[in-house]
Amino acid sequence: MGYYISPRFLDKLAVHITKNFLDIPGIRVPLILGIHGRKGEGKSFQCELVFERMGIEATLLSGGELESPDAGDPARLIRLRYRETAELIRVRGKMCVLMINDLDAGAGRFDEGTQYTVNTQLVNATLMNIADNPTDVQLPGSYDATPIHRVPIIVTGNDFSTLYAPLIRDGRMEKFYWDPDRNDKVGIVGGIFSEDGLSQRDVEQLVDTFPNQSVDFFSAMRSRIYDEQIRQFIYDVGIEHVSRRIVNSVEGPPQFRKPDFSLSHLLETGQLMVGEQKRVDDSRLVTEYNTRMRSNYQPAPPPAAPTYQPSTNGSTQPVAPTNGHGHQQQQRLNTKLSLETIEQVRQILSQGYRIGIEYVDERRFRTGSWTSGITSPITAEDDAISTIESCLGEHGNEYVRLVGIDPNAKRRVVETIIQRPNGKR
């Protein structure tokens, strides 16, 4: 299958990689090339095609490897892969690069809910250090004064504005925004369907019918065309016999005839896929659930003024009002929690959610590194109130927040700070 390489993409990668292997006097070459753009536009795949075309060997690293329960592991992994790639250049005598896919997913900060961990800081610092000293990259706990070969680093991502700003500054990282135009898409889609008998005009019409779809959409469309034959195969064999027929079968893998790749069939399949995308966008169940929860929330009414009755010694003493809820009103007078916090606890528990408590000091508050204040979920109101009071007492000079947890969806539905270091709750 002859895949299409965008001339712009090929030019950018070829120049960046070649420039990093040249010694040009008086020129500071950025070590990192950051390729960013919308999801599903084939950034990683275009890189693979360029590497194959240029005869370059790539050492791969994923953004998912940039977090670990052990602090320092991801940073050490980056240094190790970089040194391994430098050794490949020396031993094999050919161009090699280090490629990190989806860097923003592993090291980016998307909103205040994203925890900025020690590993995230170390990953950013490590990449900055390598970009500044590309021939002096050491592993923790050891030092080798022998310079290593410079290794170009290619990183991909969707939104580099989520990364640490000093890392992406000019001089360390050269940026390339990949947004394939119509000609690029026609070439890429033509390569995807090159073995299926589509004419140039059919490919253009297919691209023009779905102008807002990413490149991956057309690849998924081609894969989906085979669903009809696979479905027929399943029912011919018997759904209970599929496993034995495919895995370790003496008959060998099943053979499928070439499906119908006519333009009309492709357009029909594409419309079905667009409809599924629209249903996902329109459902937004999380927004619906949160909106319903906010609409159902009723703040507690202000407490009624206490009444007074004479005592046996002639003085007057306050009597807590009941209004039909004597126990609840008495509890409000005895607890140190605010009426708003108590009502939030009741509202969370009444909807079948669980209570969680988290705390953090002022320094870690700025990075969003909260610590859980309970070891098991709370489902009873009395337990919740007493646990919250205990947590507030133990962490009087720290931030404390109340968390509502949906046990079925395993997600948070409420997060609210109920204490701040200055004592105001």
Non-local (6+) Cβ contacts of 355 within 8 A are: 345, 348, 349, 374, 377, 378, 379, 384, 387, 388, 402, 403, 404, 405
3-class state of residue 290 by DSSP: helix
CATH 1.10.8.1070 applies to domain 182-284: yes
User: If one looks up domain 7-177 in CATH, what number appears?
Assistant: 3.40.50.300
- One of 2.40.50.140, 3.40.190.290, 3.30.190.10, 3.20.20.70 is the CATH number of 339-419, namely 3.30.190.10
DSSP codes, 316-359: EEEE---TT-HHHHHHHHH-SS-HHHHHHHHHHHHTT-EEEEEE
Neighbours of 265 (CB within 10 A): 13
Q: Is 357 exposed, middle or buried (0-12, 13-18, 19+ CB in 10 A)?
A: buried
3-class state of residue 265 by DSSP: helix
- Residue 82 CA to residue 153 CA, distance in Å, equals 9
Tokens of 48: 């693979």
What is the chain's pLDDT, residue by residue, as a tens digit (425 residues)? 578 999 999 999 999 999 999 988 888 999 999 999 999 999 999 999 999 999 999 999 998 898 888 888 999 999 999 999 999 999 999 999 999 999 998 888 776 555 667 888 899 999 999 999 999 999 888 888 889 999 999 999 999 988 989 999 999 999 999 999 999 999 999 999 988 888 999 999 999 999 999 999 999 999 999 888 898 889 888 999 898 889 888 888 888 888 888 899 999 999 999 999 888 888 777 777 766 666 665 555 555 554 445 544 444 444 444 444 444 444 444 556 778 888 888 888 888 888 888 888 887 877 777 888 765 666 778 888 888 888 888 888 888 888 888 888 777 888 888 888 865 44
Domain map of the chain by residue range? 7-177, 182-284, 339-419
- Residue 284 CA to residue 414 CA, distance in Å, equals 17
- Residue 388 CA to residue 393 CA, distance in Å, equals 9
| Nearest alpha carbon to residue 54 among 20, 24, 100, 101 | 20
DSSP codes, 1-40: ------HHHHHHHHHHHHHHTS--TT----SEEEEE-STT
Task: Give the dihedral sign, CA 386/389/393/397.
Answer: positive
Global pTM exceeds 0.85: no
Q: What is the identity of the amino acid at 241?
A: H
Q: Note whether 340 and 299 are within 8 A (CB).
A: yes
Q: Write down the residue that tokens 């003496």 correspond to.
A: 250
